[in-house]
Amino acid sequence: MQHLTGIPATVGLASADNTAERLPILPLWGELIFGLVAFAILYVVVSRKVVPRLEEMYAERTAAIEGGMQHAEEAQAEAQAALEQYQAQLHEARAEANRIREDARAQGASIVAEMREQAQAEASRIAESAKKQIDAERQSALVQLRAEVGGLSTELASRIVGESLQQEARQSGIIDRFLAELESGDIKPEKVGAAAEGEARSGEES
Amino acid sequence: MSPTALATPFLAAASGDGGGYHAPEPQEFYQPLIGHGDWALTRPIVVMAISVGLIAWFLLATTKRASVVPSRGQWVTEALHTFVRNSLARDIIGSKEFLRFVPALFTLFSILLVNNLFGIIPPIQFPTMGRIGFPIALTLVVYVVYHTVGIRKKGFRNYIGGMIPKGLPGPIYILIVPLELLTQFITQPLTLSLRLFGNMFAGHMLLLLFITGGQYMVIHGSIGLKFAGAGSFVMAFVLMIFEGLIELLQAYIFTLLAATYIAAALADEH
């Protein structure tokens, strides 16, 4: 108690009243009222300005986030659509390329076949004409040969026989008959051979 | 208390009482600056005024251009506000009615937080809530708010009736009715203010004891006492950190209980 009375007196604070002696759980009216005033002032500031601003900002932020998410979803959907379109186009292009390739192959095959046909036709035509020509040449050669052989043998025979047979009416008949016999093989080789030999020998002799 | 304020009674005591150590007394929390008595301009009033000014300035400055992408200051305000709004108001009062109580709870929380922390922040170092007037003022606000919203929502008769649990055997009510009314109208506000006051007052007292005691031992003690004094300072430092935690916790508890009382007043059934 000595201390209690001592301090305020020495420090010189509030020595004139007993406020300092009051129990610490009894309020000072000034402090209590000021506490209320302080709360009221800050409450006005907070409820009028601070909290509305913050709430508004939260709403904005929520909207911004939701908007952003929506935007992202849209972008994704767009990208998906683009991808699908691209794939469809790619598929189409592949089909187109395949079709073109098939066409080209078919066309090429048909061209080759046509060419081959043409070539064959040409070849057969050439062969045909060559054959014809050969036939004709052979025919003419045969005719010519026949005439020549006829002339030669006639001359030969006339020389051997020693008389001219040209003027004879039967002359041609003899030759033709001879040739026909020659062709049919009726003339005996020995006889003809012997006759020919004999004729040749006699020809040489004469 | 600031160092000079701490030193003054000690030195006075040392010279006045012939050198003995004088422990800190509750009277030292009464510090009138101008005038005296009930209406004196005291140190806690000044501290409270400073705190309100600072809080208002900070909140207004950081929300002036509140943008979707927050600045650093806005981020701090937002974190505190979101904490009070979502973790206290919405979770306790319920998402239907909480929004109109958010400004009051936020004001309460910021005043308590700043004033409590002023208890250890130099050069203020005075716990405003260590003066019972301020906890009573804040409790009065909470008291009026929760009874008002309760009566307004349910009507006076239903509100009072709602406090009494139903379905008990008859004679129990002789005991229960006064107890419940006592709890709702007297115990709750009393404990709300005294809890805050007691924590701040006692915590600061403890710090004063270790600091002034350490000072006395270092200056006037023998060589052994000087070491003890150094230990006392270390202890004061540790306690200061501890005190900081208590200050945060008390700000939270007061706001939490305020929200709880409001929620109980609004609740449909007891």
Q: Is residue A22 part of a domain?
A: no
| Residue among B208, B217, B207, B210 at smallest CA distance from B19 | B217
Question: What does each C-alpha distance from A91 to A77, A97, B191 come to in angstroms?
Answer: 21, 10, 80
In-domain check, residue A186: yes
Each residue's pLDDT, cut to its tens digit, for chain B (270 residues) gives 444 444 444 444 443 344 678 888 888 888 888 887 788 888 899 999 999 999 999 999 999 888 888 888 899 999 999 999 999 999 999 888 899 999 999 999 999 999 999 989 888 888 999 999 999 999 999 999 999 999 999 888 888 888 888 887 888 888 888 998 998 899 999 999 999 999 999 999 999 999 998 988 888 888 888 888 889 999 999 999 999 999 999 999 999 999 999 999 998 764
Q: Among all residues of chain A, which has the CA nearest to that of B15?
A: A10
CB contact under 8 A, B31 and A45: no
Among the partner residues B55, B111, B134, nearest to A31 by beta-carbon distance: B134
CB contact under 8 A, A50 and B77: yes
Q: DSSP H helical segments within chain A, as ranges? A: 2-11, 29-45, 51-161, 171-184, 189-205
In this prediction, residue B164 carries a pLDDT of: 83
Radius of gyration of chain A, Cα coordinates, nearest whole angstrom: 72
Residues with pLDDT less than 50, chain A = 1-16, 191-196, 198, 200, 203-206
Residues 21-40 of A with CB under 8 A from B: 21-22, 24-36, 38-39
Is the pTM higher than 0.95? The answer reads: no
Do residue B137 and residue A35 have CB atoms under 8 angstroms apart?
A: yes
Q: Helix (H, G, I), strand (E, B), or coil: what is residue B42?
A: strand
Q: Residue A16: list chain B partners with CB under 8 A.
A: 36
Q: Which residues of A175-201 are buried (b: 16+ CB within 10 A; e: fewer)?
A: beebeeeeeeeeeeeeeeeeeeeebee
User: Would you state the pLDDT for residue A33?
Assistant: 92
pLDDT at B109: 96
Count structural domains, chain A.
Answer: 1
ipTM of the complex model: 0.86
Prior bond to A8 cis, omega within 30? no
Of A6, A36, A49, the CB nearest to B140: A36
pLDDT value at residue A128: 94
The verdict on a CB contact (< 8 Å) between B108 and A32 is no
Closest A-chain CA to B35: A14
Residue A155 belongs to a domain: yes
**Domain locations in chain B?**
13-266
- Residues of A whose CB is below 8 A from B45: 30-31, 34
Look at residue A96 in the predicted model and tell me its pLDDT. 95
How would you write B151-203 as a 3-class SS string? HHHHCHHHHHHHHCCCCCCCCHHHHHHHHHHHHHHHHHHHHHHHHHHHHHHHH
CA dist list (Å): A96 to A99, A109, A110: 5, 20, 21
- Whether residue B132 and residue A6 make contact (CB cut-off 8 A), yes or no, is no
For residue A158, the enclosing domain spans 132-205
Residue B8's pLDDT is what? Answer: 42
Of B112, B130, B128, nearest in space to B257 by CA: B112
| Phi and psi based region of residue B37 (left: phi greater than 0; alpha: psi -120 to 50; beta: remaining) | left
